[in-house]
Structure 1
Amino acid sequence: MRIFGGLPRMYWYLWTGMLINRVGGFVALVLSLYLTADRGLTPSVAGLVVGGYGIGGIAGVLLGGVLADLWGRRPTLLVAHFGAAVLLVGLALTDRIAAIAVLAALLGLMHSMPGPAFVAAIVDVTPADDRSRAFNLQFWAFNLGMAVASLVAGALAEVSFTLLFSVDAAGTLITALLILWKVRETRPEHHARHETAATPGGLHTALTDPAFMLFVGLSLLLAVVTLQTSTILPLAINADGLRPSAYGSVVAYAGLLIVVGQLFVPKLIGRWRKGTALAVANVLLGLGFAYVALADNLYGYLIAASIWTVGSMIAAPPNAAVIAELSPEALRGRYQSVFYLVFPAASFIAPAAGGASLEHLGNWHWAICGALGLAAAAGHLLIQPARERRVAKQRAAERFEVPIAG
């Protein structure tokens, strides 16, 4: 079976850059721990600072998509990575809380900017028949890099947070230099002219599409629950008296489980309806995070991680498929950009609300996460029939070249 071969060389430069960047990109994983353990902030205040990182990410997603089309993929990637390296050095050197908050927000912007440019570049250089395999390998690299980053982050946090920021900056700089050296501009020369002349509608079409926005809303619930891993979970582990390396081990274990298990998920859920698969995934995610309330040692957290990680693996294939099938062919980029905002939005909501929830409600916070997972599961089952009718109607219209209003 062909897994790694046959893809363009330029794709592999992009893939390598993403992998190096992810291995080095571990500051966001321990930012809340740094603010509470090293800077003495309360969980609520730390959550707001980390939430600022998410706000910056929202702006970064939009800015990155616009610049990738106006400037090109390569300049956008270079600005984002060189900018992030400078900001990480700033975080390593400053101890003023106000400055840390501003730098964190700007870092969120720079960390989110490359996403649309990376995706656009991969589409530019990869033949249509190979794109599914290319993005599967991208997802695999993301989780492999996350697993390694988690182990490194936990170990470095026990030595020095300044060293942690410095190593992250070095990894980001290496990615920028690789892009500068090996990645050419991939944007088609006719892109801008074609975009303005031939593409109907705009972001408002996606934002006023009821079926799509219901799905986006449920995906936001999923993302808020999932991002407890990188925002609130470190605080719970620290409160149980475990060392930072324990958190690194939990996240690394989850990442490695995805790297190994994701290969078998498509066959497991191949005959399931997409809404059913997403419902099962959300139930498992909710149960996994609810189990954190019972965990008080490393083994308990590993059990919880096993449950929520299986949910994450089941969610990935149908999630991508639903986005693709709800997107009109001429507006796929805009629909993707709207969906992409889910993650920086969740990066703000998860720590901002989660920090206060954990501080004032204790372990009931994790019960609330479980309830959110169950609510999202119910939502997917409820909207499934209408969404399937919408998709069938859209496909029939496209066969007969009849335009469908969003």
Structure 2
Amino acid sequence: MLFNTYKGLPRSVYILFLARIVNRLGDFVKLFLTLYLTRYLGMNEAQTGTIITLIGIFSVLGTMLGGKITDHGDRKIILIISQGLSASIAAICGFMPDSPMLPYVLILFNFFNGAARPVNSAMLTDLTTPENRGKAFSLLYLGINIGVSVGPLLAGFLFNNFRQWIFWGDSLTTFLSIILIILFVPSIRKENIVVYSEKEKAEKGHIFSAILKRPVLLIYTLLIPLTSFIYSQHSFSLPLLLEARLNDDGARFFGIIMSVNAVTVLILTPLLTSVLHKVKPLINMSMGQLCYAIGFGMLYLAIDNPVFYLLSTVIWTLGEILNVINSGVFVANHTPVNYRGRFSAWFATARTIGHTSGPLISGLILNSYGMPVIWITSFIIGLALFFSYRYLDVFDSKK
């Protein structure tokens, strides 16, 4: 069976896997944020893009803080506190679903969500070796999508009928995942962290000096926002396209599309992990960019047929899989042991720049030039990234 790919991993990795499933089962707020702001709070595309950008900026600030404290504190405690605060704020949002203050409370919610990202990545790297990291990152990505494969269908129902539970459900599942971590994931002492290669040896100095000593990572940093910009269209421009084409059925069909995305991940992630585990991460990521170019670029045609949108989703989901299961391994294997939190925050920030600028720029493009220009732009950027990642692999091989 394909799931034999994940045999032999540390017990704590399996617990983190279960925690990811539970957490993402209720990851409602992020998924339906664009539609919530436009439909229930009456914002136009440009206003929605601005709010999402502000949310992204504070998420970056949270990520930077989380990365810093991750390298100096107890990773488990940091994760529990940051996710606990995030869950508490989500619960508060459920009591103010129509308030004009809601977007600003969501900014705080995303700040603490951002703080949890670096510690999640650092913990997983601590628990694994270069030989099994690919499997571990793939498994946790699979856990995310097991939750997401069910979550959007439930969220689509709640969105139309019980929108307070968009926030309360998010809060409840986050608290349940915290309980799993408290009970079953041990704290990892710094002196027990193993260094497996020259690239993982501790570095002195500021994070910028550590990055500059690794030019491959510096170039990769510049490419990440462009990749994230394209991918951000699935949560901003795509639901708006469906809303325009399908009217009131847009939210429901968007939930179906996101479930198809998750199911595709469930089916193909183990297969791709097994088949491509010997292919270099940057080569796999270059193919991911090509899938983005095709999957999002084809939406330029905007054919009024549900099968067309489902086909597009499968193609860009292939790109998502290839990017996610390889990027974490690539970064982890190039990261100094004493910079795991900060390097994780560095690259998460680069991704967030793309995700947050995506809605802002896309909102402006939509208001000025219309939806088709979004998909042409995505195709051109994706094609350019395909060649860029190929070059980066050649550059990395010479080092």
TM > 0.5: yes
Which shows bigger deviation, 331-340 or 167-176?
Answer: 331-340
**Residue equivalent to 1:213:** 218
**Residue equivalent to 1:24:** 26
- Compute the displacement of 1:131 (Å): 3.8
CA contact (8 A) 2:293 2:382 kept: yes
CA contact (8 A) 1:32 1:232 kept: no
**Residue equivalent to 1:342:** 350
**Residue equivalent to 1:403:** none
**Residue equivalent to 1:203:** 207
**Residue equivalent to 1:376:** 385
- Compute the displacement of 1:383 (Å): 3.6
Which shows bigger deviation, 379-388 or 47-56?
Answer: 379-388
1:357-390 CA-partner distances (Å, limit 9, x unpaired): 2233222211111111112123223444333212
Equivalent residues in 2 for 1:5-404, closer than 5 Å? 5-94=7-96, 95-97=98-100, 99-126=101-128, 130-188=132-190, 199-208=203-212, 209-240=214-245, 241=247, 242-266=249-273, 268-269=275-276, 275-295=282-302, 296-324=304-332, 326-327=334-335, 334-362=342-370, 363-390=372-399
- Compute the displacement of 1:267 (Å): 5.5
Instruction: Write the distance in 2 (CA, Å) between the matches of 1:382 and 1:129.
Output: 25
- Compute the displacement of 1:225 (Å): 0.7
Report the AA paired with residue 26 of structure 1: F
Percent identity between the two aligned chains: 24
Say how many residue pairs are matched. Answer: 384
Q: Greater relative contact order: 1 or 2 (C-alpha under 8 angstroms, separation 6 or more)? A: 2
Instruction: Write the distance in 1 (CA, Å) between the matches of 2:328 and 2:129.
Output: 19
CA contact (8 A) 1:220 1:346 kept: yes
- Compute the displacement of 1:190 (Å): 7.4
Q: What TM-score do you get using the length of structure 1 for normalisation? A: 0.85
- Compute the displacement of 1:307 (Å): 1.5
CA contact (8 A) 2:75 2:187 kept: yes
Report the AA paired with residue 213 of structure 1: L
Instruction: Write the distance in 2 (CA, Å) between the matches of 1:269 and 1:328.
Output: 26
- Compute the displacement of 1:271 (Å): 7.0
- Compute the displacement of 1:118 (Å): 2.3
3-state SS of 1:311 partner: helix
3-state SS of 2:103 partner: helix
Q: Identify if the C-alpha distance between structure 1 residues 11 and 369 changes in structure 2 by more than 3 Å, giving closer, same or farther.
A: same
- Compute the displacement of 1:38 (Å): 0.8
Report the AA paired with residue 259 of structure 2: A
- Compute the displacement of 1:34 (Å): 0.2
Instruction: Write the distance in 2 (CA, Å) between the matches of 1:27 and 1:65.
Output: 23
- Compute the displacement of 1:337 (Å): 3.3
- Compute the displacement of 1:304 (Å): 0.9
3-state SS of 1:227 partner: helix
Q: What TM-score do you get using the length of structure 2 for normalisation? A: 0.86
CA contact (8 A) 2:38 2:48 kept: yes
3-state SS of 2:398 partner: helix
3-state SS of 1:236 partner: helix
CA contact (8 A) 2:46 2:360 kept: yes
Instruction: Write the distance in 1 (CA, Å) between the matches of 2:124 and 2:135.
Output: 11
- Compute the displacement of 1:246 (Å): 0.5
Report the AA paired with residue 315 of structure 1: N
- Compute the displacement of 1:184 (Å): 3.9
3-state SS of 1:33 partner: helix
Unaligned 5+ runs, structure 2: 194-200
